[in-house]
Structure 1
Amino acid sequence: MIKSSVTIALVPQIKTGPWIYWEDLEGSIAKAAKLGFDGIELFTSSASAIDSTHLQALLADTGLALAAVGTGAGKVIHGLTLTDPDPHIRKEAISFITEMISFGANFGAPAIIGSMQGNVTSGLAREKVLTWLAEGLTILGKHAEANQVTLIYEPLNRYETNLINTLEEGASFISSLPTHAIRLLADLFHMNIEEASLPESIRKNSLLIGHIHLADSNRRPMGMGHTGMPAIAAVLQEVGYQGYLSAEAFPWPTPDEAAKQTIASFKQHFGNKLSM
C-alpha cells in the first residue's frame, strides 16, 4: 500500500529548506493527522533532540507512523560528511548517522542520507572519494540491518553534489556494496533535473526504491509545477511500490496550504490506493 507522509523540520538552521511544517512538533503532528496523512518524516538536530517516549505517545495518539528520519543536520550544524578528506570528520559523520539509525529503528523507520554524502572536492580523485562513501555506507548499512531497518540513500541533483545524481547511478553503486539494507530515495525534484524520464527511471530501478520525496518541478507542493504526476503514479502502481510518498516541498504559500495541496494531490492521483 502506498502511504502518505509530510515533513516536519525542527532544526532552525535549515528553515529556508523544503519542509512543509516547522518547529511545532505537537501541533504539526496534529495537523498532519487531521488532514489524513499516514506518517511524518522528521528532521531533527540529533538523535537525542527529541524524547522517543514523547514522540511515541504523540504518534500513538494520532495514529501516525514515523516514515523516516533525516540526517542533514549533521552537515548543516556540524559540517560532517561521509566523504570529507579528514578521516576524523568521516568517523564523526558515521557516528552521527549511526545514532540517527538507532533512533529511527525505535519506530521501525529508516534514516535518510542526503547532504551528508558530501562532494568530490577540488584536488581529490573521484575514485578515492567514492571509496570513502562506500566504506561509510557499508558500515551504516550493516548497522541498519542489525537494527532491522533499511538505510535510505538519496541521489541529489548536480547543483547539490557531484557524486551520484541519478537513480541508475545510485542503484549501481549501492548494489556493489556488501550490505543488502540500503535502498534508494527517489526525489522527484532532483529527478526532474537529472532524469530523462521520471517514470522510466522509477520502473527500471523500482526494486531498489525504498522511499520517495514528493515535490513538483519548482519544489513547491505537487500540482504547483509541471511534473507529470499521472505517469509517475501509474508506474508506481505498476511496479507495486509499497512505501511512502513524503512531501519534501517548500511550504508555499503557507505550511497549512502546502499540506492541503499535497494531500489533495495524493487523493487525485492515487484515490483509494492510499490508506487515508
Structure 2
Amino acid sequence: MSNPVGVHGLVWVGGWSPEQARRAVAGSAEAGFDLIELPALDPASFDVALTSRLLAEHGLSAVASLGLDDATDVSSEDPDVVRAGRRRLGHALALVRDLGGDYLGGVVYSKLGRYTAPVTARGWAHSVESIAWLADRARESGITVGVEICNRYETNVLNTVEQALAFIAETGRSNVVAHLDTYHMNIEERSMREPVLAAHRAGLLGYVHVGESHRGRLGTGTVDWDAFFGALREVGYPGAITFESFSSAVVHPALSSALSIWRDTWDDGMLLAREAREFLRQRLGQDG
C-alpha cells in the first residue's frame, strides 16, 4: 500500500508559534512522514507564509483539522452560535486553501467535547446545513471536507459510520467524506472491519486516523490492527493515513479538557513518531 502517511501536529507541539511550527514540520519530516495534519483550532492565528515556506523546505504536504467549541458549535439551536461556527470553519478552509492543501476534517459538525443530552432535530439540521455550506465553498478550491466520527464523550452527533453516512447523504454534497479514526471506532463500532467496508461501499471513505485505544504508542493497546489494515487492503483504500496521539506532555489548551488528557501516555514526541512510522511502514508493506 502506497498511502501517504501523516502525523498530527499535536504529537510535537501544543500551539503554532513560529518556533512551534518549525519544530513540528521539521520533526515530521525527520521522522519520515509525508504530510502533517495541522491542528487548526484557532486557524486565524496561523502564519501562513511561514508555514508554507517550512512545508516547502521539508518536502511535506499539509491538511488541517479542528473541533468546534461551545461558542462555535454549528449543531447548536442558537443561530448566532451557528454563524460564529461557520466563521471559524471559513477561516480554517482559507488556511487549507492558502497552504495548497486539499483536505479539511475533524469535528467540524459540532462541539468537540461532552454533551449532556442528545442532539436535537434542529441542531442536527443546523449541522447538516453548515457542512453543506462549507462544502460548497471548499469545492471552489478543490478541497474535500471530512466529518470525523468520534466517540460519545466527544460529540453527540456522529458516533458511528452508519450515522456519518446518513449525515453526508443529507448534505447532498459530493466533496464531503467519512473520516474514520481507530481510537473512536474501538469504542463505538462492533468491529474494526465493517465500518471500513461500509464507508467504501458508499464511496465515502476519505481519510483515516490511526490512534491506539489509550491514545499512546501504536500496537500497545487493544485496537485490532489486523482487522483494520486487512479491511483497508481489501477495499484498496488509496488515501492518507495519519497517526494521532495525545499526551499531557504536549497539550493544546483548548483540548486538555475537551479530550480528557490527564496523563502522560508518552513524553518523547520524536521517539513516539518514529515508532509509529515504523509500525505503519510494516503494516502497509512499505519499504524503509
Normalised by the length of structure 2, the TM-score is 0.83
Determine the C-alpha separation between the residues in 2 that align with 1:215 and 1:123.
27
Q: Give the Cα–Cα distance (whole angstroms) in 2 for the partners of residues 123 and 202 of structure 1.
A: 28
Spell out the pairing of 1:85-104 with structure 2 (5 A cutoff). 85-104=77-96
Take 2:234 and 2:109, find their aligned partners in 1: how far apart are those partners?
Answer: 32
The residue aligned with 1:186 is: 180
Q: Is the Cα contact below 8 Å between 1:120 and 1:129 reproduced in 2?
A: no
Per-residue CA distance 1:16-67 (angstroms, 9 max, x = gap): xxx311142112211211121000001134333222222111111111110x
1:173 shift after superposition: 1.4
Q: Name the CA shift for 1:219/1:123 in 2 (closer, same or farther; >3 Å).
A: closer
Asked if 1 retains the 8 angstrom alpha-carbon contact of 2:118 and 2:156, the reply is: no
Amino acid corresponding to residue 189 of structure 1 in structure 2: Y
Q: C-alpha distance in 2, partners of 1:191/1:63?
A: 32
For structure 2, the 5+ residue unaligned runs are: 248-265
Partner of 1:69 in structure 2? 64
Matched, 1:7 2:8: yes
Does the CA contact (< 8 Å) of 1:213 and 1:247 recur in 2? yes
Q: Is 1:51 the equivalent of 2:43? A: no
Distance 1:122 1:187, change over 3 A: closer
1:117 pairs with one of 110, 119, 123:
110
What secondary structure, in the 3-state scheme, does the structure 1 residue paired with 2:71 have?
coil
Q: Deviations over 1:173-230 (max 9, x none)?
A: 1012221111111011010001101112101212212111111111213212121112
The structural deviation recorded for 1:125 is 7.0
Distance 1:270 1:124 in 2: 38
Secondary structure of the equivalent of 1:198? coil
Q: 1:31 aligns with which of 27, 30, 34?
A: 27
Q: Which runs of 5+ in 1 are unaligned?
A: 9-18
Answering whether residue 215 of structure 2 is matched by residue 219 of structure 1, we say: yes
Displacement after TM superposition at 1:104 (Å): 0.5
AA matched with 2:286: N
Name 2:262's counterpart in structure 1: none
Q: Tell me the residue number matched to 1:130.
A: 124
Q: Does the C-alpha gap of structure 1 residues 113 and 28 become closer, same or farther in structure 2, counting only changes over 3 Å?
A: closer
For the residues of structure 2 that align with 1:123 and 1:197, how far apart are their CA atoms?
26
Q: 1:27, 1:94 → 2: CA distance?
A: 30
Of the structure 1 ranges 119-128 and 22-31, higher mean CA displacement relative to structure 2 is found in 119-128
Q: What residue is the counterpart of 1:13 in the other structure?
A: none
2:281 to 267, 271, 276: 267
Change (3 A) 1:123 1:62: closer
* Counterpart check, 1:147 vs 2:141: yes
Contact 2:4–2:239 at 8 Å: present in 1 too?
A: yes
Query: Aligned partners of 2:106, 2:130: CA distance in 1, in Å?
Result: 11
- Cα distance in structure 2, aligned partners of 1:125 and 1:219: 26
1:250 to 246, 249, 256: 246
Residue of structure 2 in register with 1:11 after alignment: none
**Per-residue CA distance 1:125-154 (angstroms, 9 max, x = gap):** 722221111111111111111221101111
- Asked if 1:21 corresponds to 2:34, the answer is no
User: Would the alpha carbon gap of residues 229 and 133 (structure 1) be closer, same or farther in structure 2, given more than 3 Å must change?
Assistant: same
Identity, % of aligned positions:
25
One-letter code aligned to 1:160 = E
Distance 2:119 2:219 in 1: 41
TM-score normalized by structure 1? 0.87
Shift of 1:120: 10
Against the structure 1 CA distance between its residues 146 and 115, is the aligned structure 2 distance closer, same or farther, given a 3 Å change threshold? closer
Structure 1 outlier segments of 4+, above 4 Å: 119-125
Which SS does the other structure have where 1:114 is aligned?
strand
